[in-house]
Chains A and B, each alone.
Chain A
Amino acid sequence: MSAKPTHEELLRDITERAKALWGEAKATEMAAALEQTAFNMAEIDRAIPKRDMEPGYYQ
């Protein structure tokens, strides 16, 4: 993967994880949800704040 993973890379990564955990058939069944999740992750990657910003778990 490059420094900022693309949507396609993120989708491939979680699809492979799904296959490893639950098998090919289930991963195919989950395609729409996997697509949505990859989209969400890619969108966040475009908005990551400066490197010194800590997460605020309990704001």
Chain B
Amino acid sequence: MPEPYQLSVAEAAGEIRSGSLSPVELAQSLLGRIDALEPSLRAWVTIDREEVLTEAKRREDELGQGGPKGPIHGVPVGLKDIYYTAGMKTACGSRINADFVPDYDATTVSRIKEAGGVILGKAVTTEFAMGDPSHAINPWNPAHTPGGSSSGSSVAVSARMCAAALGSQTGGSTCRPAAYNGIVGLKPTYGRISRYGVVPVSWSLDTVGILVRTVADAAIMLQVMAGHDPQDPGCPDQPVPDYLEAMSRQDGPPRIGLIKEFFYDKSTPEVRSHTDAAVEKLAQAGAIVQEISLPESFASAHSCQRIVSNVEAAAYHEESYRDRADEFGPKARSSIEMGMLIPSVRYVQAQRARRQFRADMMAMVREVDVVLTPGIQAPAPRDLSTTGDAMFQQPWTSSGLPSIVVPSGLSQDGLPLAIQLAGLPWDEGKLLAAAGWCESVLGVSLSPPDFS
């Protein structure tokens, strides 16, 4: 019988529903795990133990009174410290927001609570989810970056301090740290999950991200949070299917479009051969793999992402920058300053090019069920002055297409590697089904050896 802290979301929720595990036992187990590991990993900013245990007890009482409220009843969830939590600090890893206490919950936080979840605490983020590294430690090797910006959320899930945590992605901030830490990261379609009450980097790029250890858990968390929110102008009224049901409907191996162009060119030889081996395994299990080409508009995709991100960040932070520029970290400050310098016409041209790029990427993905690339160009860099390179994630963020990284093995240095899959907008069901199939064929589930 595993310790409760080792359970996935699906396992923990199942045991709670069946009565073999109480929400309080689970919360205590996770808090004990955090107590043991936090000095080494520094993944958390704020944890209100009393509140966590009070909420867990409330969930326990609710089970006796009317049954589970939803699919994650009694399961604690971590939040990147950019999510508004009523009465709990949302410091965004910054000096500027150090004492900011929101008076309402982000829509995502409300939906987690409505589904029976327990908010475990706030996880470390890079400053305002931008480029300055955080102090979180990579559990696979402390000399290597854990990635960012959702660094604490990724570390916490990898080290079994929680089964699920929220991140966010403007460039590569969910899927890259997920890959570096050996876990599953899902960046849904732009607008699939409300960002109301999430401190922005860039309104037209920001996407709520999900960090978990299995594809099924990604489906469960997406189910809990997906759907229209009138408070978020980028979150339209699109139907929300049953994602677990969509996964179970996967009646055979998927048609996979392998993108070697750019992604192989930028990868290390080790990542290239590792990805080839993973693809070969998928093909042997029946996947139809065909190599596909990127559209011409891909050439400017990274530039569009940077221009748009910098300008929108400058707009959001303009007032703080004017009064407190010296309190921003160097990379955040540089992004804001670049955003202030970019002429308005160049920003609009970037947005127009993005629209063309999105259309072209959709046409490319329509040729297959999902496309596949290496998840990262190399394992987490041995450099704590960086959060790594988001170049493999930016195209999906910029085009708004959903993407997911799934662990695929370890490098020669013992660091996690991953594959990345992407699908069509609003079709996370098909993406999750294919990702679940790949996860099952690859059979890789990673746990950092020093913290197992």
Contact = CB atoms under 8 A, between A and B. Distances in A.
Interface in A24-56: 30, 33-34, 36-37, 39-41, 43-49, 53-56
A56 B358 contact: yes
A41 B307 contact: yes
A38 B343 CA distance: 11
B355 A53 contact: yes
Given A30-B337, A47-B353, A58 B233 contact: yes
Contacts of A22: 337
Interface in B202-238: 204, 233-234, 236
* Most chain A beta-carbon contacts within 10 A, residue among B233, B303, B338, B350: B303
Given A18-B341, A47-B299, A37 B353 contact: no
A47 B297 contact: yes
A44 B297 CA distance: 9
B338 A37 contact: yes
Contacts of A36: 306
Contacts of B340: 21
B68 interface: no
Interface string B343-370: 1001011111111111000000000000
Nearest to A41: B346
B350 A44 contact: yes
A53 B400 CA distance: 18
29 contacts: A13-B343, A14-B342, A17-B341, A18-B337, A21-B340, A21-B341, A30-B334, A30-B337, A33-B334, A33-B338, A37-B306, A37-B307, A37-B310, A37-B338, A40-B307, A41-B303, A43-B300, A43-B303, A44-B303, A44-B350, A47-B353, A49-B356, A55-B352, A56-B354, A57-B351, A58-B234, A59-B191, A59-B355, A59-B400
A36 B191 CA distance: 29
A14 B204 CA distance: 23
Given A33-B338, A59-B190, A53 B356 contact: yes
* Most chain B beta-carbon contacts within 10 A, residue among A21, A39, A40, A54: A40
Nearest to B325: A22
A36 B337 CA distance: 13
A48 B345 CA distance: 11
A55 B355 contact: yes
Contacts of B356: 47, 49, 53
A10 to B, nearest CB: 8
Contacts of B352: 48-49, 53-55
Interface string B302-318: 11101100100000000
B348 A55 contact: yes
* Most chain A beta-carbon contacts within 10 A, residue among B307, B346, B349: B346
A10 B204 CA distance: 24
Nearest to B310: A37
A13 B345 CA distance: 13
A55 B204 CA distance: 11
* Most chain B beta-carbon contacts within 10 A, residue among A13, A18, A21, A59: A59
B350 A59 contact: no
Contacts of B302: 40
Contacts of B348: 55
A34 B300 CA distance: 17
Nearest to A40: B303
Given A40-B303, A44-B307, A56 B351 contact: yes
A37 B399 CA distance: 20
Given A30-B337, A44-B307, A46-B300, A37 B342 contact: yes
